[in-house]
Structure 1
Amino acid sequence: MGKRTSSSNRPPPSRPPSSLLPLIGLADRSILTRLVVTGCVAATANLISLMSLSAELSGWMRGEVLDTPFLIFCLSLLVSYAFAKRFVSLTLTTAFSALAEVRRRFLRHVTLGGHADILDLQAKRSFDLGNHHLERIAALLPNLSIAANMMLVAAVAYLYLWTLSTVGATLLLVAALLVGGWYVREAQRTRSLLSDAKESELRMLQGFSELVGGNAEVKLGKARRDELSQAVEADVARWEELKRRHGRNLGELFSWIATIIIGFSAVFVFIFPRMGAMSVSELPLVTSVILFLARPLSKFLNAVPDYVAAEDAAAQLTALLGTMPALEYAPSRTARAPRRFSSIELRGVSFAYRAGLRPEPFVIGPIDLTIPAGSVVGIVGSNGSGKSTLLRVIPLLFRPDEGQVLLDGQPVETDRLEAYRDLFCAVFQDHHLFTRLPQGPGFDAELFREMLAYLKIDHLVPDTGNGLLNRDLSKGQRRRVALAVAVAEGRPVVILDEWTSDQDAEFRTRFTNEIIGKLRALGRTVIFVSHDGDVSSVCDVIIRMTNGRMTNDRMTNTETIDGATDMPAATAASRPDMGSASAPAMACLQETA
């Protein structure tokens, strides 16, 4: 396997510049060109329809009824509709395709990325936040695409206004720049309020979650309940105040903008004709253009808060994606994993587990370990000694930072990784019992039902015929169902992590007296972690972990094989639950100094 650098060891990336367009696939020049051309055609047609209306109005004022403006109006309206629809459709299709690819990248990271990174609570929180940001952007995109189309309409209308009144267009530009600068400043203040409100909301939701999750403890202690309730109440009050200020700012902002637009229209109507800057005949058309500009400008300004929120979400999502390596699905060189093997060997393996708030990584190793097929290996030690970490290193869920893992003497490289992992089935402490049973050809449904009966859980897991499982079970019952599923998958190595921790006394006793023997009789290699007393009677080898190192490994056999000791035949014969299975090959351990 060689030395590798854990992805979790990389320093957190700096936050990249905010950019929504690259994230949603609209930074490509060809896409932008198509959008601009499509939008400009729609905007021009929209303006032509306005001009035809103005021409028709002028004809009426002269006592004439004109057919040409009406025909032009109808044609331009159809063109405007078709191209505006195409603009919005192209924008949303491109953007949602890009967001779908982000979701696929999340999926590839979960299925192909490092298991240690996925287990990290911070990583889980990042995935939740990433999906939240995706939902925010997706919800805002339709409004933003319409606003972008409206801005192109405003741009074309403004160019037309320039041909009608240079002075008016210049004044409008100056006013727009002044109002725009003020608006941007106010929008930044509004964004700051929104960010503070978001932080308060997150604290508030976390407080609610703790009150719900620890409801029993809260109800048993008034002082603690009051303390937590007051903290949540403070966050609620803070959130309420920030939202009120944010709402007041937005209301004031839009009121001023509406007043300015109407006031500027009044300048054209009341002042320009008196100054001689505009003829009376031009006044209806210019006024129509000014009022026409009000709609797209209003739509654009209304969309600015949405754009700010989408830009903020895009920046955070881009930063999150920067922590994920680019992974692609590739066909495995091995069609299916071998169901037989001779030995699994860990040679000089070390792994540093970095998670949560640990200031320093927890390191296990270096470890030298050989597990022949058919062995029963017990791993014991105090809490935090590295038992469960080692249990995840053996099947390469955690990739070693140093050393090698070998299958039948051959290093397990990346192209053999999936085939190697397919040798293992596991019931970890944090196991997940899936709703649906495996559907592949390797799953033995008959053996599954037999194991359910053997584990006395079949009455709670009826055979529905559609592969669905009843998951409304206690933790101990779920572990028993998970073990039955694991055995029925037919994989040669069974990993059990504190399987007895949620079992009653009967099954804790049966685990050492019967279940291990049952798995051995089925020809499985068993590797398990246990806290339940002396398990030496069922183990070929006991590995004792202390602070990440193998110490005081206890052999339960007497004959030496490759530096270890072999189980006497009498031991196997004294176990009727093993059936006719031959005595397993012994694991070979070399204690690291």
Structure 2
Amino acid sequence: MSARPKAEPKAKRPAPSRPLSALLPLIGLADREILTRLVITGCVAATANLISLMSLSAELNGWMRGEVLDTPFLIFCLSLLVSYAFSKRFVGLVLTTAFSALAGVRRRFLQTVTLGNHADILDMQARRSFDLGNHHLERIAALLPNLSIAANMMLVAVVAYLYLWTLSTVGATLLLVAGAMIGGWYVREAQRTRALLGQAKESEVRMLQGFSEIVGGNAEIKLGKARRDELAQAVEADVARWEDLKRRHGRNLGELFSWIATIVIGFSAVFVFIFPRMGALSAAELPLVTSVILFLARPLSKFLNAVPDYIAAEDAANQLTTLLAAMPAAEYAPSKLARAPRRFASIELRNVRFAYRAGMRPEPFVIGPIDMTIPAGGVVGIVGANGSGKSTLLRVIPLLFRPDEGQVLLDGQAVEADRLESYRDLFCAVFQDHHLFTRLPQGPTFDAELFREMLAYLKIDHLVPETGDGLLNRDLSKGQRRRVALAVAVAEGRPIIILDEWTSDQDAEFRTRFTNEIIGKLRSLGRTVIFVSHDGNASSVCDVTIHMTNGQMTNSQMTDERTGATRPATALLQETA
């Protein structure tokens, strides 16, 4: 085989520029068509607000001159109705679009968990990525209503400002210049405040992790004062840092809003008291300009109040975007028509190697090369010391962990991505960290009668009453939960059952029954059994025994059906080939 040609070095691409907003694309508001609809709707609402303001000013002027003007008042009422309707329409468009986009993110979480690479999912679970992602989603969803209302009010403010320009060019220009200066200062202060918010969030995560450790290890810390005080002091330090950062963040926000409110009031005073004396405004224009200024104060106030929410939403959106970018792609396209073959002749592992990725374990660990054959209807035992790679191999066999090298063959054919789903459907498993679901399987392949029979066989039926709704009692000990999980696995009817140290939490009776009875029971049901055990005597019930040491298969034995003797697997396979 010729060596691969060396790839030419790629030219360095410039780093992608960071978007102005992570929030808008995430909630589906970066689309031009959607934005156009939102702006038009908001501008109609803003214009109606402005017409109502002008009509009310005309009504007040007429009233002060002793006139009764019904037309402006009718226009005022009508425009208020239009404004209200289109404002609700604007907010509704924002929220429906945003919540649909957030639901799409949740569906992506679901697709990643169900179809993504198992090793990547375990890594993300260890880093609590999905918990944090859902937390960020909830933060954004809670902040969206206030932000959508603030966005609508800002469109109202823009239209009102344009009208102010027609009334007083000098005043509108001064307001624009002052707004630009204040806006620049505000952005700088907001960035500083946002940095404090990020530091507070990091401190909060550490604080909550500390609380979780104290709650999870509550029994242990109550038995040792030194350890308890050490953990409590560490959490107290995180609480103090979180408190300091949140206080600084709140103080900065308070000062920021106080200064801006003072500036807004000062500008209003300039327009109302100083401009008329300078001759910049006539007596007839003064009520209308004053009304516009006061009218602008409400949208600006709403906008300022929404800024902390926007900063928090942007922070959550940035973290969520980073998480989404790191999510693994689906391993295969699921097929609704795919059905697992219920019969097979053999599964073979050829020169299989698997290495944990960086970050999944504190130290690098590799298993392999592994060469083994699993005969249909047989019993395969994997034995070895702790940390030898037994449980890892148990996840490689059903391709939950995809090998870095070598092949897994089903009936002589390599299992590729297009056959991965149906291949995995051959297996059911009770792993060490198994999860007992709250509801029994409801499909046609689940044998409820066999499930009750296995519960009785495993002496657990009295703790799992038949409720009729498919719900399981999960208030059980670890050993009892493993027995229920085995009953569920048998009743699902899949041809291969994987058991990862199933006896580790069982009492003496069931440890003995496992090798003397239970394995035979599963075999009599036509199941292929693959189990991990520390018990060296377990090989007496196995057709194939795999010995693991430091990730290496040091010995493989098979039972010779002709003599009943246990012999090295390699020699026996050569004789029977």
TM-score normalized by structure 1? 0.90
Please point out which of 462, 466, 469 is paired with 1:466: 469
Per-residue CA distance 1:245-278 (angstroms, 9 max, x = gap): 2222222221222211111111011111111111
Partner of 1:109: 112
Helix, strand or coil for the counterpart of 1:120?
A: helix
Cα root mean square deviation, aligned: 2.1
Q: Distance in 2 between matches of 1:521 and 1:214?
A: 43
1:328 CA displacement: 9.6
Is it true that 1:145 corresponds to 2:148 in the alignment? yes
Residue 506 of structure 1 aligns with an amino acid whose one-letter code is: E
Per-residue CA distance 1:9-50 (angstroms, 9 max, x = gap): xxxx99964521111111111011111111111101111101
Q: Distance in 1 between matches of 2:247 and 2:122?
A: 39
Partner of 1:374: 377
Is it true that 1:543 corresponds to 2:543 in the alignment? no
Q: Distance in 2 between matches of 1:134 and 1:357?
A: 26
1:397 CA displacement: 1.1
1:355 CA displacement: 5.9
1:589 CA displacement: 7.2
* Contact kept? 1:540, 1:586, Cα under 8 Å: no
Partner of 1:287: 290
Is it true that 1:57 corresponds to 2:57 in the alignment? no
Partner of 2:168: 165
Matches within 5 A, 1:214-293: 214-293=217-296
Partner of 1:44: 47
* Contact kept? 1:371, 1:587, Cα under 8 Å: no
* Contact kept? 1:334, 1:416, Cα under 8 Å: no
Q: Distance in 1 between matches of 2:159 and 2:144?
A: 23
Partner of 1:206: 209
* Contact kept? 1:373, 1:525, Cα under 8 Å: yes
- Given the superposition, is the C-alpha separation of residues 116 and 331 from structure 1 closer, same or farther in structure 2, using an over 3 Å criterion? closer
Partner of 1:135: 138
Please point out which of 324, 327, 343 is paired with 1:321: 324
Is it true that 1:365 corresponds to 2:375 in the alignment? no
Helix, strand or coil for the counterpart of 1:431?
A: coil
Q: Distance in 1 between matches of 2:108 and 2:491?
A: 32
* Contact kept? 1:120, 1:355, Cα under 8 Å: no
Per-residue CA distance 1:282-340 (angstroms, 9 max, x = gap): 00000100010001011111111111111111111111111124549845285321111
Residue 561 of structure 2 aligns with an amino acid whose one-letter code is: M
- Given the superposition, is the C-alpha separation of residues 362 and 66 from structure 1 closer, same or farther in structure 2, using an over 3 Å criterion? same
1:369 CA displacement: 1.6
Residue 259 of structure 2 aligns with an amino acid whose one-letter code is: W
Q: Distance in 2 between matches of 1:43 and 1:326?
A: 44
Matches within 5 A, 1:502-513: 502-513=505-516
Partner of 1:523: 526
Please point out which of 402, 415, 423 is paired with 2:405: 402
- Given the superposition, is the C-alpha separation of residues 215 and 482 from structure 1 closer, same or farther in structure 2, using an over 3 Å criterion? same
Please point out which of 484, 487, 501 is paired with 1:484: 487
- Given the superposition, is the C-alpha separation of residues 358 and 437 from structure 1 closer, same or farther in structure 2, using an over 3 Å criterion? closer
Q: Distance in 2 between matches of 1:337 and 1:168?
A: 76
Is it true that 1:299 corresponds to 2:302 in the alignment? yes
Count of paired positions: 557
Helix, strand or coil for the counterpart of 2:429?
A: strand
Per-residue CA distance 1:541-592 (angstroms, 9 max, x = gap): 210112222112233x3xxxxxxxx2346689xxxxxxxxxxxx999779xx
- Given the superposition, is the C-alpha separation of residues 145 and 327 from structure 1 closer, same or farther in structure 2, using an over 3 Å criterion? farther
Helix, strand or coil for the counterpart of 2:327?
A: coil
Residue 131 of structure 1 aligns with an amino acid whose one-letter code is: N
Per-residue CA distance 1:167-199 (angstroms, 9 max, x = gap): 000111112112212222221221122122222
* Contact kept? 1:362, 1:548, Cα under 8 Å: yes
* Contact kept? 2:496, 2:529, Cα under 8 Å: yes
Helix, strand or coil for the counterpart of 1:322?
A: helix
Partner of 2:199: 196
1:205 CA displacement: 1.2
Q: Distance in 2 between matches of 1:173 and 1:146?
A: 23
- Given the superposition, is the C-alpha separation of residues 545 and 334 from structure 1 closer, same or farther in structure 2, using an over 3 Å criterion? farther
Per-residue CA distance 1:198-228 (angstroms, 9 max, x = gap): 2222121111111111112211111111111
Helix, strand or coil for the counterpart of 1:534?
A: helix
1:512 CA displacement: 0.8
Residue 567 of structure 1 aligns with an amino acid whose one-letter code is: E
Residue 541 of structure 2 aligns with an amino acid whose one-letter code is: V
- Given the superposition, is the C-alpha separation of residues 348 and 533 from structure 1 closer, same or farther in structure 2, using an over 3 Å criterion? closer
* Contact kept? 2:164, 2:292, Cα under 8 Å: yes
* Contact kept? 1:354, 1:360, Cα under 8 Å: no
- Given the superposition, is the C-alpha separation of residues 284 and 15 from structure 1 closer, same or farther in structure 2, using an over 3 Å criterion? closer
* Contact kept? 2:133, 2:323, Cα under 8 Å: yes
- Given the superposition, is the C-alpha separation of residues 132 and 588 from structure 1 closer, same or farther in structure 2, using an over 3 Å criterion? farther
Identity %: 87
Q: Distance in 1 between matches of 2:175 and 2:73?
A: 30
Partner of 1:8: none
* Contact kept? 1:26, 1:94, Cα under 8 Å: yes
Q: Distance in 1 between matches of 2:245 and 2:572?
A: 65
Q: Distance in 1 between matches of 2:387 and 2:564?
A: 36
Partner of 1:580: none
**161-170 vs 300-309, greater mean Cα deviation:** 300-309
Is it true that 1:567 corresponds to 2:561 in the alignment? yes
- Given the superposition, is the C-alpha separation of residues 151 and 96 from structure 1 closer, same or farther in structure 2, using an over 3 Å criterion? same
1:148 CA displacement: 0.7
**61-70 vs 236-245, greater mean Cα deviation:** 236-245
- Given the superposition, is the C-alpha separation of residues 328 and 390 from structure 1 closer, same or farther in structure 2, using an over 3 Å criterion? closer
Question: Where does structure 1 differ by over 3 angstroms across 4 or more consecutive aligned residues?
Answer: 13-18, 121-124, 325-331, 355-361, 568-572, 585-590
* Contact kept? 1:353, 1:363, Cα under 8 Å: yes
Matches within 5 A, 1:338-487: 338-354=341-357, 356=359, 358=361, 361-487=364-490
Please point out which of 492, 504, 524 is paired with 1:501: 504
Q: Distance in 2 between matches of 1:182 and 1:176?
A: 10
TM-score normalized by structure 2? 0.93
- Given the superposition, is the C-alpha separation of residues 514 and 119 from structure 1 closer, same or farther in structure 2, using an over 3 Å criterion? same
Q: Distance in 2 between matches of 1:32 and 1:380?
A: 62
Partner of 1:73: 76
Residue 420 of structure 2 aligns with an amino acid whose one-letter code is: L
Q: Distance in 1 between matches of 2:360 and 2:426?
A: 33
Q: Distance in 2 between matches of 1:422 and 1:16?
A: 43
Partner of 2:96: 93
Q: Distance in 1 between matches of 2:165 and 2:101?
A: 38
Q: Distance in 2 between matches of 1:121 and 1:415?
A: 25
Please point out which of 32, 36, 39 is paired with 1:33: 36
Structure having greater relative contact order (Cα 8 Å, sep ≥ 6)? 1
Helix, strand or coil for the counterpart of 1:536?
A: helix
* Contact kept? 1:371, 1:588, Cα under 8 Å: no
Q: Distance in 2 between matches of 1:384 and 1:249?
A: 52
Q: Distance in 1 between matches of 2:199 and 2:360?
A: 24
Helix, strand or coil for the counterpart of 2:68?
A: coil
- Given the superposition, is the C-alpha separation of residues 39 and 328 from structure 1 closer, same or farther in structure 2, using an over 3 Å criterion? farther
* Contact kept? 2:123, 2:360, Cα under 8 Å: no
Partner of 1:576: none
**154-163 vs 326-335, greater mean Cα deviation:** 326-335
